A and B are shown apart, each in its own frame.
Chain A
Amino acid sequence: MAKMNLLQAINSALITVMDQDERVMVFGEDVGHFGGVFRATSNLQEKYGRDRCFNTPLTEQGIIGFANGLASQGSVPVAEIQFGDYIFPAFDQIVNETAKFRYRSGGQFSCGTLTIRTPYGGGIAGGHYHSQSPEAFFAHIPGMKIVIPRNPYQAKGLLLASIRDDNPVLFLEPKRLYRASVSDVPDEDYELPLGKADTVQEGNDITLLGWGAQIEILQKAADMALEDGISCEIIDLRSILPWDADAVAESVMKTGRLLINHEAPLTGGFASEVAATIQDRCFLYLEAPISRVCGLDTPYPLAHEKEYMPDELKTYEAIKRTLKY
């Protein structure tokens, strides 16, 4: 067990799997000798050689196209897209290729071994091209799995599970926690389950649902609400696709209320999907409308970043409104 930040936990997961399986290859822009712009791949090239950890040309569609071919051949690619905001040139390769390879070939070929790592989210003064949360775009793609860790312990266990899962996984890393979040991380190999939510805190009055860096925000809002005597249950979804509707529904049947928080814009965000499913499953248990505390329907702003963010104050106010409904 060692204290690690989120980047070190990712690095530790990559070392664990590269040690065990020669088929694992890590690549992307600047990930080689430099170790990536955030240093998630530090020392991997020195340890495993340039053939297994390497820089690619600056072409996201090329990186994912290459990774798809490599995965279909039977290797285990872990491809890095430097920022989630820059994943869109690869959108066609992900939507039409990564996710459909197995289906269209009747299971003869697949990209199941592929994991795409990319940092996402705001809070680093990155403006609209270094802050976006693109999970909802990818949640609309049958065949993909989407996984988001909230701390270093989760990051290592979920990344190891993602790399070994026989389905393509988009692994979104909350970049504002890269160095800010530090926790005890086992040195040994371990996995956390994909598709399973994690109850962070139990409570009785309202369920607060989020993922990634927003779990910290939910925790702060829950602490504020507790002072008013409101008991919040906090659930970290961890997997956006497929998502753990059973866990959320079970919690909502207990609390009777649901608030969903994400950084991405409100309209068409993943909160909409959760809300639609939960009202279907828990209609008679709901005591108030499902509340969504999300980013505005604007490009991610720079000067107004603080105002844009679905922070603990907005969440706290929404909790009170829901309780008073």
Chain B
Amino acid sequence: MQDRNHLARVKTTHQVHIIENGLIDIPMLQILKPDGTLHEEAQEPDLSKDVARKMYDTMEYIRVLDERMIGAQRQGRISFYLASTGEEAAAVGSAAALSPDDMIMSQYREQGALAYRGYTTSQFMNQMFSNEKDPNKGRQMPIHYGDKALNFMTISSPLGTQIPQAAGYAYGQKMAGNEAITICYFGEGAASEGDFHAGLNMAAVLKCPVIFFCRNNGYAISTPADEQFAGDGIASRGLGYGVKTIRVDGNDPLAVFAATKRARELALEERCPVLIEAMTYRLAAHSTSDDPTGYRSRDEEDKWRAKDPIQRMAKWLQQKGWYDEAANKQLIDETRQEVLKALKEAEKVPVNPIEDIVNDVYDKVPWHLEEQLDQLKKHISQYPDAYPKTSGRVK
């Protein structure tokens, strides 16, 4: 049996010496200045024109989608929506640094990553209208997307549950010999959940190739970050768990891309987890169910509006000669029309037939669910007008 020494890394002191918070200074990687030029010491990441344009277009696309869907919710066409305004670079910049084989386990504000992977406007709409074209069969509230073909795990509402799951998924990828990793998104609020601590510790000890990507956007619904934790953000916790860590300006798409690209290399080469803390700001409300004027000032929001990641990237693209004003305007116009058209189509698609209420609970429908379905169908047939969504198709 191997001899172990858990004091091997412990240095001895002879004074009473209390370690205080703040002794570790974790800097924030920033490559682009707000005017879109590079910081002098900064190195431009290896980003092709195609990838850079795709990143930019995806951010613009998401901003239009968010704006239109909030409108649709206000009109009562969908029950709920959750925008990512101001945080587009965090999701899109990181997704751009991944391989399509990498699994994405997101929280719920990473529609940018999903769009970057190729999720279409119709797919967004079918999910939000819970219709039968949604592969998740209309079983979850709007914005809980999932698409196996795009390696995008179906989103769960309980916060932080995906964090230890991402460790397990990545362990499975490692054991199967896949040249792929898992990225796990969450917010600084979710990082207070037990699952965050469990997940980081498991991933570190079991050497899982996973990127934990925290969007520190300053708020968990109404609770500001300074009422969420007393330490140095989320990054300081990574070090405590023995997880390689980087803090990045989440409103700088180039910095997010560069940090994620390096994190992915490390995760694959060393089969280890990496924590990224992206410092950003939730310009949107938490969701369509809250109003931020109740917990923060307009001035504060305006300061962050000036740091808009889309504008920052547009300025950089202009300097590269990769920006086309007319094409951009066309993209925005076309997206607006496309969203409206897809929305109108998705609204008309029926919900899944009533049989799907019992499918997928188990691999096969067990006797007690057969019995309950049978009773339910008889009841619907007796009162068809009370259940108009399904009664027409009850056999």
Contact = CB atoms under 8 A, between A and B. Distances in A.
Q: Do A and B truly interact?
A: yes
Given A92-B158, A103-B360, A67 B135 contact: no
A142 B366 CA distance: 11
A143 to B, nearest CB: 5
Contact of B136 (A25, A65, A108, A246): A108
Given A57-B202, A103-B139, A242-B367, A108 B158 contact: no
A51 interface: yes
A228 B17 CA distance: 77
Interface stretch (A73-81, A128-136, A173-181, A217-225): A73-81
B198 A61 contact: yes
Interface in A26-58: 33, 51-52, 54, 56-57
Interface of A: 23, 25, 33, 51-52, 54, 56-57, 59, 61-75, 77, 89, 92-93, 96-97, 100-110, 112, 142-143, 145, 166-167, 195, 242, 245-246
> Which 9 residue pairs are nearest across A and B when measured between Cβ atoms?
A65-B164, A69-B168, A62-B198, A73-B172, A69-B165, A70-B168, A105-B154, A66-B168, A106-B137
Contacts of B164: 61-62, 64-66, 68-69, 93
Given A69-B162, A106-B137, 4 more contacts: A66-B199, A70-B172, A104-B136, A245-B368
A33 B1 CA distance: 10
11 contacts: A33-B1, A54-B206, A56-B202, A59-B201, A62-B164, A72-B169, A97-B158, A97-B161, A102-B363, A106-B137, A167-B362
Contacts of B202: 56-57, 59, 62-63, 65-66
Contacts of A72: 153, 165, 168-169
A69 B135 contact: no
B277 interface: no
Contacts of A93: 161, 164, 195
Interface residues of B, number: 50
Given A107-B359, A108-B148, A67 B205 contact: no
B327 interface: no
Contacts of A52: 175
A92 B182 CA distance: 22
B146 interface: yes
A102 to B, nearest CB: 5
B166 interface: yes
A147 to B, nearest CB: 14
A103 B363 CA distance: 10
Nearest to B148: A108
Nearest to A22: B175
A104 B144 contact: yes
A113 to B, nearest CB: 10
Contacts of B195: 61-62, 65, 92-93
A106 B139 CA distance: 8
A166 B202 CA distance: 25
Contacts of A242: 362, 366-368
Contact of A68 (B137, B139, B140, B168): B168
Contacts of A68: 164-165, 168
A195 B366 contact: yes
A153 to B, nearest CB: 25
A65 B205 contact: no
B171 interface: yes
Most buried by B among A73, A110, A142: A73
B147 interface: yes
Contacts of B366: 195, 242
Interface in B340-366: 359-363, 366
A56 B199 CA distance: 11
Contacts of B144: 104
B353 to A, nearest CB: 13
A143 B362 contact: yes
Contacts of A195: 366
Contacts of B158: 92, 96-97
B140 A66 contact: no
Interface in B289-325: none
A59 B148 CA distance: 29
B153 A109 contact: yes
B220 to A, nearest CB: 18
Contacts of B359: 107
Interface in B132-155: 134-137, 139-140, 144, 146-148, 153-154
A69 B169 contact: yes
A163 B134 CA distance: 31
B194 interface: yes
A188 B161 CA distance: 39
Most buried by B among A56, A72, A242: A72
